[in-house]
Amino acid sequence: MGKPLKVGIIGCGAIIAQYLANFRKLGQIDLVAVADLDPARAQAVADAYEGVRAISVEELLAADDVELVLNLTIPAAHAEVALKAIAAGKSVYGEKPLAATTAEARQVLDAAREAGVAVGCAPDTVLGTGIQTARKAIDDGLIGAPISASATMVTPGHERWHPNPDFYYQPGGGPLLDMGPYYVTALVTLLGPVVSVIGAASHTRNERTIGSGPRLGEKVPVAIDSHVTGVLVHASGALSTLFMSFDAVKSKSPNIEIHGERGSLVVPDPNYFDGDVQLFSLGAEDWETLPVSAGYVDSGRGFGIADLASTPAGAEPRAGGAMAYHALEVMESVLESAHCGAAVAIRSTVERPAGVELTVLAEDLDRLQTQEAV
């Protein structure tokens, strides 16, 4: 609080570019070091970002000027890296999921609590104007008491564009664990925690063909369910239906739709930070697009870390470990239910994070005012 949070990044893959772009405009964050198993990738980042040094993972974990480690490694390494950072006395913020399993995630949260450090985790897309405007509409009673929701993510598979898609089709991957964090976190942000789930799952192919890059045409084995559906029972009584697929081709269904006693909301893609929120009120003749009314304007990956940096000591960040753990347990339980054929109770819970007031960064405000003047 009151001074920039000094951040070190472990993992310099493709996703880092989105964080770096936003770190340049977030005054709450001071990026000081980067590390990667491939030193050349870390050096490339350091060369492009003034004041950042490229060092080894071990050196970054031991660095006195690193207060928080941003963990951008592959999902299978999330818990291992987080635990090492916590053992070094540093707070951690990771890409989703928090860990490959809830057992590993619990170790991370327990270690952080004992060490007195903070845990944050993507997705922070829920802090943007899209989900937050929808959240405010619900809180303001525009649809009445929420009854149900649907969440739909359909793609024929990431192997069409990803040059190394293997991990998507191995344990810890699949459409639910890959994309589900965005949808489940949004549903909990909008409707509150989940108390039980029931699921079903299938897969249509035992292998996939890489469609781009140096491995073009290579076959990848499929060891997970690539089509998952589930019903989430929220503590509020609302029911959410998930439809996550790497098998189906396309859908015209909204990414998220919320139904209440007096109206329905179309909520934008939770994989993004903005987008239109549409409302159909009881007795209306057509959908109306709601004005942007809440959330961080022009936000992107990394805003969750800035939000964490502004969170009072001891308080749970909005994009915090408790939310990430709850979402992971929900997804893991949907898959468990799919295999056992029975409903599964959710043991964890989480406080529905406080809404984000409409917030524009100073430099974005200057840019918007300049555009308006022109």
Angle between helices 129-139 and 174-191 (to 10 degrees): 40
How many CB atoms lie under 10 A from the CB of residue 214? Answer: 8
Which of 75 and 369 is assigned the larger pLDDT? 75
Q: What is the mean pLDDT of residues 259-275?
A: 98
pLDDT at 314: 85
Helix axes 16-23, 39-48, angle to 10 degrees: 20
- Name residues whose C-beta falls within 8 Å of residue 10's C-beta, 6 or more positions apart in sequence: 34, 35, 36, 57, 60, 69, 70, 71, 72, 73, 81, 85
Give me 203's structure tokens: 């897969």
Tell me the per-residue pLDDT of 301-353, one tens digit each, with 9 for 90 and over.
Answer: 999 999 999 999 889 999 999 999 999 999 999 999 999 999 999 999 999 99
CA–CA dist 8, 23 (Å, integer): 12
Residue whose structure tokens are 């959710």: 346
Cα 71 from Cα 86, distance rounded (Å): 12
CA 291 to chain centroid = 24
Q: What is the pLDDT of residues 138-182, one digit of tens each?
A: 999 999 999 999 999 999 999 999 998 998 998 888 999 999 999
pTM of the model: 0.93
Distance CA 310, CA 304 (A): 10
Which secondary-structure segment (H or E) carries 119? strand 119-121
pLDDT, residue 262, reads: 97
CB burial string 196-210: b at 16+ within 10 A, e below? bbbbebebeeeebeb
pLDDT given for residue 11 in this prediction = 97
3-class secondary structure, 162 = coil
The dihedral built from the CA positions of residue 258, 263, 265 and 266, taken in this order, carries a sign that is: positive
- Give the residue, 374 or 178, on which the prediction is more confident: 178
Say if residue 156 is preceded by a cis peptide, omega within 30 of 0: no
Do residues 299 and 19 make contact, with C-beta atoms less than 8 angstroms apart? Answer: no
- CA-derived radius of gyration, the chain: 21
Question: Is the per-residue pLDDT at 245 higher than 50?
Answer: yes
Q: How many CA atoms lie within 13 A of 91 on its CB side?
A: 23
State the Cα–Cα distance between residues 75 and 106, nearest whole angstrom: 15
Instruction: Summarize pLDDT for 2-22 with one digit per residue, the tens.
Output: 689 999 999 999 899 999 999
pLDDT score of 215: 95
